[in-house]
Structure formats: structure tokens, C-alpha cells
Structure 1
Amino acid sequence: MSDVSHRHALPWPWNDYVGYCAFVSRPPKSASPHPDPADSVPLPPGSPRRPAAVLVAAALLALESLAVLAVAVWYIVELLRVTPVSMGGAIFMIVLLFGAAIGLGAVAINLYRGYRWTRAAAFVWQLLMLAIAVPILLAGRPLPGLTLLLPAFVVAVLLFTPKVVAFTLRSRGGTPVL
């Protein structure tokens, strides 16, 4: 079936979608076989290739990942001391905590590399941290609340700074990365 006859065989909204998918799936004309993940927007001479905001956000995400990993280990130690009400629920919580720690670590590493998808994943995590931190603050526990709130707020703001957005979008003529 030719491209023209295939287009007319689909209902109207699908014509645009099929054309869009064909356009997006084409490789860029000037794509190198090995795109440099550190390729970023032009910065003033003498500046590092990665903006400082990317380094700070990736470092805070890595620290959050280590904190979730520490909570997972603490949870296992507590399970050895006390019998849980539901063993299935306890195992699920352990898997969930380790999965969150690994996933957040992957987001931190790939944000440092400049992948665009990491901004969404990091922002969703920061929203979850804000949703946990606010009730803790309102319950009269300022130290744990601020410990969760401040890094989440800083990372959420840094993710939308122009240099971080430009770094993750590869707008300097390089090949966009994911």
C-alpha cells in the first residue's frame, strides 16, 4: 500500500498522527553516530560546559536518593526487630523504597548527563517531597519538615532555570537527546 493510499485509508485525526510519527522517527540530517551528552548551549568563555544549576540539582537528587536508600535499610533493620502486621506489605514497602532509590539515582545521573526526560521525573519527585513536608511542618516538627522542604524547593526551582532547560534541550545545533 503506498503512502498516499495509506493516508486516505485512516480516519481524519489519524492522518495527522501518522504524519507526525513519520516525521519524528526520521533521524536528524546532521546527526553524528555518537552524540556527545555533554553538548550544551554556548556559554561565556572560561565557563564549564555544564551549568552550575545542573550540578547542584543533580547533587541534591543524588543525596535524596541516598536518603531513600538509608530509609530502606533502616526499614529492613526495624523489620528484624519487630514483627510486621503484614509481611506482604512490608516486602512491598522494601521493594518500593529500593526501587525509588535506584530510580532517583538514575534521574540524578542522567540529569548530570543532560537528558531531557529527567526534568519531569525530578519535578514529580520534588512535588511528592513537598506533599510530605508540608504536613510535617504543620504538625509542629520544623526540623524534619524543613529537611524535606528546602532541597525539594531548590531542585524544583533549578529545574526550570533557562540554563538547565537549554542544557537538557541541546539547543546549540547538537542532536537532541531523549
Structure 2
Amino acid sequence: MPDTKRTPLVTLLVIILGAESLLMAGISAFLLLEFVIDAPDFVGTALFLTALCILAAVWLAIITLGAWRGRSWTRGGALVWQFLQLAVGIGSIQGLVPRPDIASWLVLPAVVAIVLLLTPSVSLYLARDDAGDDERPEE
């Protein structure tokens, strides 16, 4: 198997995923603080949204750690997150109150991460065996 050392593109991908994870953790903390400080109009919706944001932050943290370690299962999860982020970003351009500033903060990192996930060096790095050894059985 060819050498699968961590390249600068892999490091850039991990930085993007880590930043997204930290931002989701910050959003989760903000929602928790808002839930405690101000009584929501719809408690069930507020609890569900907060729990969903916490779950997304944890999921992103796990994907980031897995990408850093070169685990193959991280590629699919990272792509799903980037496409979801891309959809939200494009949706923020449209609607009653378009917000292109928010869209740029969502769309640009998502596009860069998608391109990075599809580059050969990152694909090779993330195609390593999940057991940690660099040799795969011949098929």
C-alpha cells in the first residue's frame, strides 16, 4: 500500500472540521444558556433543538478525531455534514430575509471541505484500515 502520511490537505480538512465542531459546541452552549436565562415559548421545541445541536457537536468532534487518525468511516459522515451545511447556507440566501453574510460563512467552508474530501491524497489517507495497521488483505 502506498505511503499514507498526513498531508497538509488532511490537516486543513481537520482544521475545518474542528472549527465547525467548536462552533456547534458554542451554539449548543448559547442555546443552553438561553434556555436557562429566558423561558422559551415552546419548551419541547427548545429542548429538542438544544439536544440536536449538542448531538451534532459531539458527532462533529468524533468525525474530526477520526479524520485526524485517518479512519475510513469519517469520510461519509464528514460529507453528510458538509452537504447539510451547504443546504442551510444556500437556504439562507433565499427566503423572506436573505442573509448572504451567513451563507458565505456556511457555504465556503463546506465547499472547501467537500473538495478536500474528494482529493486523492485525502481519500488515500482516509482509506486506511480502521484497525490501525496500514496493510489490507489482498482481494
Fold shared, TM-score > 0.5 on shorter chain = yes
Q: Could you give the per-residue CA deviations for residues 34-87 of structure 1, whole angstroms, max 9, x where no partner exists?
A: xxxxxx8327xxxxx201111111110010011111111111222233321222
Contact 1:137 1:146 (8 Å CA) reproduced: no
Q: Aligned pair count?
A: 131
Q: Could you give the per-residue CA deviations for residues 74-115 of structure 1, whole angstroms, max 9, x where no partner exists?
A: 112222333212222222222211111011011011101100
Q: Which residue of 1 aligns with 2:134?
A: 174
Deviation at 1:163, TM superposition (A): 0.6
Q: Which residue of 2 aligns with 1:124?
A: 80
Q: Which residue of 2 aligns with 1:163?
A: 121
- Using the alignment, how far apart are the partners of 1:129 and 1:72 within structure 2? 16
User: Percent of aligned pairs with the same residue?
Assistant: 31
Cα distance, 1:133–1:152 mapped onto 2, change above 3 Å: same
Deviation at 1:142, TM superposition (A): 1.7
Deviation at 1:137, TM superposition (A): 2.0
Contact 1:65 1:102 (8 Å CA) reproduced: yes
Runs of 4+ aligned residues of structure 1 deviating over 3 Å after TM superposition are none
Instruction: After TM superposition, list the pairs within 5 Å mapping 1:75-154 onto structure 2.
Output: 75-138=31-94, 139-154=97-112
- Using the alignment, how far apart are the partners of 2:114 and 2:84 within structure 1? 11
- Using the alignment, how far apart are the partners of 2:8 and 2:39 within structure 1? 46
Contact 2:21 2:58 (8 Å CA) reproduced: yes
* 1:69 is the counterpart of 2:25: yes
Amino acid in structure 2 at the alignment position of 1:68? M
RMSD: 2.0
Moved more, 82-91 or 106-115: 82-91
Contact 1:57 1:155 (8 Å CA) reproduced: yes
The structure with the larger Rg is 1
Q: Any stretches of 5+ residues in structure 2 without a counterpart?
A: none
SS at match of 1:105: helix
Contact 1:53 1:158 (8 Å CA) reproduced: yes
- Using the alignment, how far apart are the partners of 2:2 and 2:105 within structure 1? 33
- Using the alignment, how far apart are the partners of 2:108 and 2:14 within structure 1? 15
Contact 2:71 2:128 (8 Å CA) reproduced: no
Amino acid in structure 1 at the alignment position of 2:123? V
- Using the alignment, how far apart are the partners of 1:67 and 1:174 within structure 2? 33
